[in-house]
Amino acid sequence: MAGRTLMWWSTGAASAIAAALTLREDPAAIIARCETNNEDPDNYRFEADVMRWLNASVTILQAETDRSVWNVWQRRRYIAGINGAQCTTLMKVAPRLAFQRPDDVHVFGYTADRGDVERFERLRETYFELTVRAPLIEQGITKAATLAMVERAGLKLPRSYAMGFPNANCLLTGCGKAKSPRYWALYRKHFPAEFARTAAYAREIGARLTELNGERAFIDEIPADHPTTDAIVPACDFLCAIAEQDLASHPAPSEIEGGRP
Ligand code: SF4
């Protein structure tokens, strides 16, 4: 019997078109997403719209105990460091490993833009034991094209695109792996209350999440007039998790000076 097709849905435009292509090829494909309970509400609205459009549903994967990024950060008094982020490990890697089978085909929404092509190649090399596909790359579809295709389908894009976020991961806290002061300045601009909560907690545990003038800095040290364009935030995909795969060898947060070393 052929293996399952697992399409890793991310609540974004590229993912929507990749899911549509995947279902056209294999109507039994599983549209899967690891739940962080940390997404912007408009992402969930977009997800519902896309699933109605595709006449499909999302298979939600989540751990038994770790169901909130904020709680993971608090329980371990740790956000992210050189060894990665526990939120990825516990809420994305662990549920995926528990769900996947050796003969699954993993489908991703990487686009035909150069950065995505390179990332997909790295993923293929890193996870050589998995069968992986990227239908948008196979068909030469760029990110800009996916945005246009989604709009032509009558779907309203998630609001985070208009805000200027390169990806919409974890907008209820901000992504703990983001080092870019432009990202945090943009996050503060659009989500001031959520920014204040994350900034206060980072102070409490001594986590200098960003860099200013070549020095590690607390995110509340970012000047009020700091630029917000070209914000950078890592994709939280399979590659993001490589450093965190080995739970057993991961140092406890208390061993890393309360946060990012
Ligand atoms: S997007 Fe960032 S904050 Fe969210 S799970 Fe991934 S690493 Fe953690």
Going by the DSSP 8-state scheme, the letter that residue 157 receives in this structure is P
Q: What share of the chain is helix, strand, coil (3-state, %, to 5)?
A: 45, 10, 45
Q: How far apart are CA 182 and CA 14, in angstroms?
A: 24
Query: Measured from the CA of 236, which atom of ligand 1 is nearest?
Result: 6
- CA nearest ligand 1 atom 3, residue: 175
Answer whether 160 contacts ligand 1 (Cβ < 6 A).
no
Task: Measure 1 CA to ligand 1 centroid, in angstroms.
Answer: 35
Ligand 1 pocket check: which of 87, 92, 250 to mutate, most ligand atoms within 8 Å of Cβ?
A: 87
Q: Does domain 5-166+232-255 have CATH number 3.40.50.620?
A: yes
Answer whether 167 contacts ligand 1 (Cβ < 6 A).
no
> What residues does each domain of the chain span?
5-166+232-255, 181-228
Q: Which residues contact 186 (CB under 8 A, 6 or more apart)?
A: 163, 164, 165, 228, 231
Query: Measured from the CA of 91, which atom of ligand 1 is nearest?
Result: 5
Low-confidence ranges of the chain (pLDDT < 50): 243-261
Answer whether 185 contacts ligand 1 (Cβ < 6 A).
no
pLDDT on residue 167: 83
In this structure, are residues 107 and 9 in contact, taking their beta carbons and an 8 Å threshold? Answer: no
Answer whether 137 contacts ligand 1 (Cβ < 6 A).
no
Burial class (CB in 10 A: 0-12, 13-18, 19+), 130: middle
Helix residue ranges per DSSP H, the chain: 13-25, 41-54, 69-76, 86-88, 94-99, 114-126, 135-138, 143-152, 159-163, 181-190, 192-205
In this structure, are residues 232 and 180 in contact, taking their beta carbons and an 8 Å threshold? Answer: yes
Answer whether 241 contacts ligand 1 (Cβ < 6 A).
no
3-state SS, 214-242, equals CEEECHHHCCCCCCCCCCCCCCCCCHHHH
Comparing CA positions, the residue from 149, 171, 168, 152 lying closest to residue 16 is 149
Q: How far apart are CA 34 and CA 236, in angstroms?
A: 11
Buried residues in 165-178 as b, exposed as e (16+ CB within 10 A): bbbbbbbbbbbbbb
Task: Measure 184 CA to ligand 1 centroid, in angstroms.
Answer: 14
pLDDT on residue 242: 54
Task: Measure 89 CA to ligand 1 centroid, in angstroms.
Answer: 9
Three-class SS state of 149: helix
Answer whether 169 contacts ligand 1 (Cβ < 6 A).
yes
Answer whether 236 contacts ligand 1 (Cβ < 6 A).
yes
pLDDT on residue 252: 34
Task: Measure 91 CA to ligand 1 centroid, in angstroms.
Answer: 9
pLDDT on residue 166: 84
Ligand 1 pocket check: which of 175, 237, 240 to mutate, most ligand atoms within 8 Å of Cβ?
A: 175
Task: Measure 167 CA to ligand 1 centroid, in angstroms.
Answer: 11
Structure tokens at 255: 């061993």
**What is the sign of the dihedral through the CA atoms of 69, 9, 62 and 254?**
negative
- CA nearest ligand 1 atom 8, residue: 87
